[in-house]
Structure 1
Amino acid sequence: MAGVDDIARTAPDDAPTAPPPAVEPDVKDWTWVLERRCPECGFAAADVEPAEIGATVRDLVPRWVAVLHRPDARERPAPSTWSALEYGAHVRDVMRVFDERVRAMVEEDDPLFANWDQDATALEDRYDVQDPVVVADELATSAERTAARFDAVRDDQWQRAGRRSNGSVFTVRTLGQYFLHDVVHHLDDVRG
């Protein structure tokens, strides 16, 4: 998984220096998306076959790249809603986190995932001032790595388990389905 130092932090000269208004942290437990269609984005995670995960990730990349190349990528639609740039940086980091989690599930017995506070990461890494073009490139690279990780999962590994710090248990299969929902849902958030 890429370290914090690997993340683009170069802000353009016209980027704001003060942190943006805080976005209310999402504290919902989204694991229910494994059982039913998301009413917000329409994605049905349970319908995704494991062998489709890598290809689906690759299919979504051009849409994310296009979003991050929009002239308004830095603009928040509302003060307390992330911009397309902030969502893109989040999805890039989601790719990295889930790549590491799948690796752990395949290589270790019942790993406990390190806690990842996505809202704290957005503030600490200043998603709002990162370069959208660099984020697009990093997202594409992370997506390819994550897609390849899922492509490498053998048939006998899809049921291997891992646990989130809040106690949620996943198999490699359900983790992949859950992961894809996040990527698709945020693409819907930014009208990609």
Structure 2
Amino acid sequence: MSAPNVLILGIGNILWADEGFGVRVVEEIARRYRFAPNVRLLDGGTQGIYLVDQVRWAEVLMVFDAIDYGLEPGTMKLVEGEAVPRFMGAKKMSLHQTGFQEVLALADLMGDYPSHLLLIGVQPVELEDFGGSLRPQVRDRIETAIAEARRYLERFGVEWVPSDGESGAFGEEMPHPSLRLADYESGRPGPDVACRIGDPRVLAMRGAG
């Protein structure tokens, strides 16, 4: 019996604080581990419908994302199987979630829906912080999310081979190394220099109105 095609997918936008959770988890996995050819790591960003070919390829699909479960901020929740699409759009936080629901629906329509589907989501603390990074409560869930992923994928025989920790799998399907979490946090200007919630000129006009 051949090994199933496994897609480990992170979606979200690293420019909007906790929205970047899914991408940051996959980034960390890529930094630490190597996998057999039947396992793909993908920074799905906010690509939405453009992810359909990747999803159709996968027999096992694991998705990391920031999800508004209505729970305590920083809470991680796992959702499996048919319930996943409902949670991806429980409360629309950004365009990428509606888009991913459409990806799953289109894959199903085309007869290539994953046989196994797991969503590992975390309740965001802050989303309205343009240029901001993960809040501590969400960042602390990266390790737990990776542990849950390893536990789930064990049943499919996925081997997590440790890498050297530096020359991770950063190619077309992963963020550029310059966007890695540590570099991003050290290089971005602080909120006292760069407005994080919009152009200050526009905000000033709103206040005057």
TM-score calculated relative to the size of structure 2:
0.25
Task: Report the structure number with the largest CA radius of gyration.
Answer: 2
- Give 1 or 2: higher helix fraction: 1
Greater relative CO, 1 or 2 (CA 8 Å, sep 6+): 1
TM-score calculated relative to the size of structure 1:
0.26
